């Protein structure tokens, strides 16, 4: 039996593991995919303290190396449920069960993708204007989506980029009226309605154009662009844990700044929980808070 079991090896989960292991607890991290979570999609990160510039993969590697050097155990498997038996937990996975005194859920939330060929491999595709917008200063970009997030991203980019093209699959924008009015006031922003992206074109492994299709007429055309920001929502993966952790209407774990859940001894950290800001720095903060709470739980405090 482990003292603390952590589900997810993104910045929140890895920070939790480091803190817990330094408190001399036995720790295992379960990860179903690659280490690092969403940060591995960022080719360059310039807003994380201590690094003037670092790739998402490099930052993730450093976090993993630190956790390994502390003696954290890792298991590549998918958690599919949690039960609580008295003061202890059983975490069910696709490869068997794990027992622990405390559990930290740090499964993150994935950006919804367009599911197009080369979307994961081309340079020039981003899911975060705050993270990557500065790389497109003076360039032409597209924003995919018409909700609040997409319009906020477009507004941020409009102050940096030569032009911003918002592509919305519906015949209207779904973002707040105030955001729509601000979009209309921007001379370098245009909105294309009833349109979907059907293909990505590249040059030297970088995005060079997107193929779009009008959903009314069926007509297709290409839009040359230096970058594409996909803003069609986030998808938390917490349904497996709903029996022990209360979720909000879209599936995020309901939690406060103490990173606790509705079950004593079960904690959450990072993008998987209800919160106002989802950045690497806030995920790391959550990881430390959740770990300290789990440590106190294990110690009977």
Which of the residues are catalytic? Answer: 128, 131-132
Sequence-ordered strand ranges (E) for the chain: 2-7, 27-31, 73-76, 79-85, 88-93, 96-105, 109-111, 125-126, 140-144, 163-167, 189-192, 195-203, 206-214, 220-224, 227-230, 234-236, 266-268
**DSSP letter string over 151-165?**
HHHHHHHHTTSSEEE
Q: Which two tokens stand for residue 53?
A: 């510039």
Residues 6+ positions from 129 with CB-CB distance below 8 Å: 143, 152, 153, 156, 157, 229
HSE of 150, CA atoms in CB hemisphere, 13 A: 27
- Strand 140-144 to 163-167 pairing: parallel
Cα–Cα distance between 287 and 224 in angstroms, integer?
41
Q: How many CB atoms lie within 10 A of CB 61?
A: 15
| CB burial of residue 182 (10 Å; 0-12, 13-18, 19+) | middle
- SS3 category, 67: helix
Measured between alpha carbons, how far is 17 from 30 in angstroms, rounded to an integer?
11
Q: Of 289, 142, 112, give the one whose Cα is nearest residue 226.
A: 142
Residue 254 DSSP SS3: coil
- Radius of gyration of the chain, Cα coordinates, nearest whole angstrom: 21
């Amino acid at each position: 039996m482990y003292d603390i079991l952590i589900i997810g090896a993104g910045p929140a989960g890895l920070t939790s593991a480091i803190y817990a292991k330094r408190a001399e607890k036995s720790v295992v991290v379960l990860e179903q995919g690659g280490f690092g979570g969403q940060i591995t999609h960022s080719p360059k990160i310039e807003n994380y303290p201590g690094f003037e510039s670092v790739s998402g993969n490099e930052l993730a590697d450093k976090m993993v190396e630190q956790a390994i050097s502390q003696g954290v155990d890792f298991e590549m498997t998918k958690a599919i449920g949690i039960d609580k038996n008295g003061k202890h937990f059983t975490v069910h996975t696709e490869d068997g069960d794990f027992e622990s005194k405390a559990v930290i859920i740090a499964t993150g939330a994935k950006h919804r993708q367009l599911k197009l060929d080369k979307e994961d491999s081309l340079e020039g595709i981003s899911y975060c204007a705050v993270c990557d917008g500065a790389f497109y200063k003076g360039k032409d970009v597209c924003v995919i989506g018409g909700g609040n997030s997409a319009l906020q991203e477009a507004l941020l980019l409009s102050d940096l980029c030569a032009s911003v093209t918002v592509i919305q699959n519906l015949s209207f924008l779904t973002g707040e009226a105030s955001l729509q009015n601000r979009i209309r006031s921007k001379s370098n922003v245009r909105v294309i309605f009833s349109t979907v992206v059907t293909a990505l074109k590249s040059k030297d492994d970088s995005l060079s154009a997107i193929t779009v299709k009008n959903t009314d007429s069926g007509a297709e055309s290409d839009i040359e662009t230096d970058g594409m920001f996909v803003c069609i929502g986030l998808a938390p993966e917490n349904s497996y844990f709903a029996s022990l952790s209360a979720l909000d209407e879209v599936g995020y774990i309901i939690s406060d700044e103490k990173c606790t859940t509705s079950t004593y001894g079960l904690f959450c950290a990072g993008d998987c929980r209800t919160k106002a800001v989802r950045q690497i720095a806030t995920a790391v903060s959550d990881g430390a808070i959740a770990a300290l709470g789990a440590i106190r739980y294990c110690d009977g405090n």
